[in-house]
Amino acid sequence: MSNSSGKRFDINEAISHLQKVDPILSTIISDKPDYRVYRKRNSFESLVRIIVGQQLSSKAARTIYNRLKTSVIENRITAQSLSYLDEGDFTSAGISRMKTRTIRILVNEVISGRLVLEQFVEMDDVSISNKLTRIKGIGPWTIQMYLMFVLCRPDIFPEKDTGIKNAIRKIYANGSHQVDFKTISDRWRPFRTVACMFLWKYIDKTVTR
């Protein structure tokens, strides 16, 4: 994991860098990735959504998350609104017992003030990771997704993500499992996040054809 802080980055600079250092990746970069370089306002809700989506397809995660939203006051996912739910409410939404436990621990940490997500904007990646891994059920993938999609950190590589691994195998090794992910991804520094956005976009297109 990189040690970058919350500075904004130039998407055009990132694309230019990737095209220069990786001719193979350059061939699949046809336009800017389908995401904007800005931070999401509600970092708590975003983190809960990532937890819900652990090891699920995008469609399944979206369905379950929407069920959870309908079970809280005014459909607003906050630490306070989730604190009123019991375990049965989470189960009814389709959330596993393990994820329920993780979300409830997160809720308690935020309400107690022991965890202040708003402070993450000014913290480096490693410090954020150290804070979040104290919550049982939040591991590297969840933290990486949070850093990439919520805090928009430019140099994150989710090495365990199935979509990323499948894309790299297909693009760089014709589907072979003998792939050195680290060597390939290291050339993208300091914009590994942006490279991954293109890889997800690429694999989504090839799977749906």
Question: What are the pLDDT digits (tens) for 12-26?
Answer: 899 999 999 999 999
Q: Total domain count for the chain?
A: 2
> Encoding tokens for residue 64?
């379950």
Summarised one tens digit per residue, pLDDT across range 77-126 is 999 999 999 999 999 999 999 999 999 999 999 999 999 999 999 999 99
Q: Would you call 141 helix, strand, or coil by DSSP?
A: helix
Distance CA 7, CA 153 (A): 8
Q: Residues 146-174: what's their mean pLDDT?
A: 94
What is the distance between the alpha carbons of residues 53 and 63, in angstroms, rounded to a whole number? Answer: 10
124 falls within a domain:
yes
Residues 137, 89, single domain; the answer is yes
Question: Do 54 and 79 sit in the same domain of this protein?
Answer: yes
Please indicate, yes or no, whether residues 95 and 190 belong to a single structural domain of this protein. Answer: no
CB 93 within 8 A of CB 64: yes
**Alpha helices (H) in the chain, listed in sequence order:** 11-21, 23-26, 43-52, 58-70, 79-83, 87-93, 97-112, 125-132, 140-149, 162-173, 181-186, 192-208
In a domain, 3, yes or no: no
30 CB contacts (<8 Å, ≥6 apart)? Answer: none
What confidence tier does 141 reach under pLDDT thresholds 50, 70, 90?
very high
We report the CATH number of the domain holding residue 164 as 1.10.1670.40
Domain of 64, in residue numbers: 43-149
